[in-house]
Amino acid sequence: KAGVTQTPRYLIKTRGQQVTLSCSPISGHRSVSWYQQTPGQGLQFLFEYFSETQRNKGNFPGRFSGRQFSNSRSEMNVSTLELGDSALYLCASSLSGPMNTEAFFGQGTRLTVV
């Protein structure tokens, strides 16, 4: 059974640009969550989607957005990139949601903003 797939694995962008990251969940999983991991702030929740609906959103500026498609694949977008957006962005999938079913993470997308 294939795991959570995130693309691309690495990305270098310039300040002010925008970026789109992609996540393909485990087959059959309908919940997709996104997290930002940095050495200073640790793992922080960005948003969670289930059946194309955002059910929760973390404390990030509006430059961070996401969506989920009917096949459960998800994308997140960051506009007007800032140096502080450099981080490992992780996607996690679960059957119905991370609060009562196991959540499995992908390998992440390492974003570097220069």
Partner 1 sequence: QQQVKQSPQSLIVQKGGISIINCAYENTAFDYFPWYQQFPGKGPALLIAIRPDVSEKKEGRFTISFNKSAKQFSLHIMDSQPGDSATYFCAASNDYKLSFGAGTTVTVRA
By CB under 8 A, name the binding residues for partner 1: 4, 6, 31, 33, 35, 42-45, 48, 50, 55-56, 58, 90, 92, 97-100, 102-108
**Pair of tokens at residue 15:** 């300040």
Closer residue to partner 1 in complex, CB, 21/92:
92
Give the angle 17-85-37 at the CA atoms, nearest 5°: 140
User: C-beta of 45: minimal distance to partner 1 in Å?
Assistant: 4
Nearest-approach distance from CB 90 to partner 1, in angstroms: 5
* Least distance to partner 1, CB of residue 74, Å: 14
Nearest CB to partner 1, comparing residues 75 and 105: 105
- Closest Cα to residue 35, out of 109, 110, 91? 91
Give the Å distances, CA to CA, from 52 to 22, 67, 71, 101, 103: 15, 7, 9, 18, 18
Closest separation between CB of residue 80 and partner 1, Å? Answer: 25
Residue with smaller CB distance to partner 1, 67 or 104: 104
Spatial distance between the Cα atoms of 61 and 78, rounded to a whole number of angstroms: 10
